[in-house]
Amino acid sequence: PGDWALNIKSVVVFGRIQPMTDLKEAFAVLRQLCLKYTQEPGFFSREMAESGKNVLILRLVPEQITGKLVNES
């Protein structure tokens, strides 16, 4: 019952992908991502000790960004 409307927001980004070469910055990004999914103390440190040398972090350098809002009622 009642009205509903379809509201969609989207963003499309075009750009270039580059590997992150600054390990300190890359690990800071990984730590933030890790904390998003687990609050377990020591998890990040353990994973970096075991697998850190195998991790490749890629950065998207935006060149064009477009957005769209669809509001159907």
Q: What is the pTM of this model?
A: 0.61
Q: Which residue has the tokens 């509001």?
A: 71
Token duo for residue 47: 């994973």
Residue 1 has pLDDT above 60, yes or no: no
Query: For all residues of the chain together, what is the average pLDDT?
Result: 88
- Structure confidence at residue 8 (pLDDT): 81
Tell me which range, 17-21, 23-27, 45-49, is most confidently predicted by mean pLDDT: 17-21
Counting Cα atoms < 13 Å in the Cβ hemisphere of 3 gives 4
